[in-house]
């Protein structure tokens, strides 16, 4: 059964030349783990422009516009932007969308989580 996703936000981000790697790291390690805990968030994507490596789109998919608005009104979005402000070339621009269709290809299995290396077995001591 396909997921129901009704609302999307696109943030266009242009970072300072040479700051793309730092920006990606901050998004992956600090900001997106926090955003993923927000009520109503369904998916988070960070897209990098192949022709302009200092330009990004952060795409978030939400259960509803109401939940996305509540996230923005909470001040969290503003706090997260401030966390990467030293890497930005210009203010972030936002666009909102109604999701008319969303489908996940059912023939492609979901990605498997990386497994930790097995722990070595402890040798039993003989007394």
Here the tokens at position 19 are 């700051």
Asked if residue 11 belongs to a domain, the reply is yes
pLDDT at 127 over 70: no
Q: Is residue 34 part of a domain?
A: yes
Tell me the whole-structure pTM to 2 decimals.
Answer: 0.76
- Does residue 106 register a pLDDT over 50? yes
- CATH number, domain with residue 85: 3.30.70.100
48 is a domain residue: yes
Q: Are 99 and 5 in contact (CB under 8 A)?
A: yes
Which domain, by its residues, includes 17?
A: 7-98
Strand partners, 62: 7, 41
Residue 123 belongs to some domain of the structure: no
């Amino acid at each position: 059964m396909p997921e129901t996703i009704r609302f999307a936000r696109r943030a266009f981000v242009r970072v300072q030349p040479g700051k793309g790697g730092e920006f990606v790291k901050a998004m992956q390690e600090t900001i997106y783990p926090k955003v993923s805990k927000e009520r109503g968030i369904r998916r988070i994507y960070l897209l990098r422009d192949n022709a302009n490596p200092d330009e990004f789109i952060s795409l978030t998919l939400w259960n509803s516009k109401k939940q996305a608005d509540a996230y923005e009104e909470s001040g969290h979005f503003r706090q997260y932007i401030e966390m990467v402000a030293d890497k930005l070339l210009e203010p972030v621009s936002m666009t909102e969308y109604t999701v008319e269709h969303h489908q996940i290809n059912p023939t492609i299995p979901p990605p498997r989580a990386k497994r930790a290396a097995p722990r070595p077995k402890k040798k039993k001591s003989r007394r």
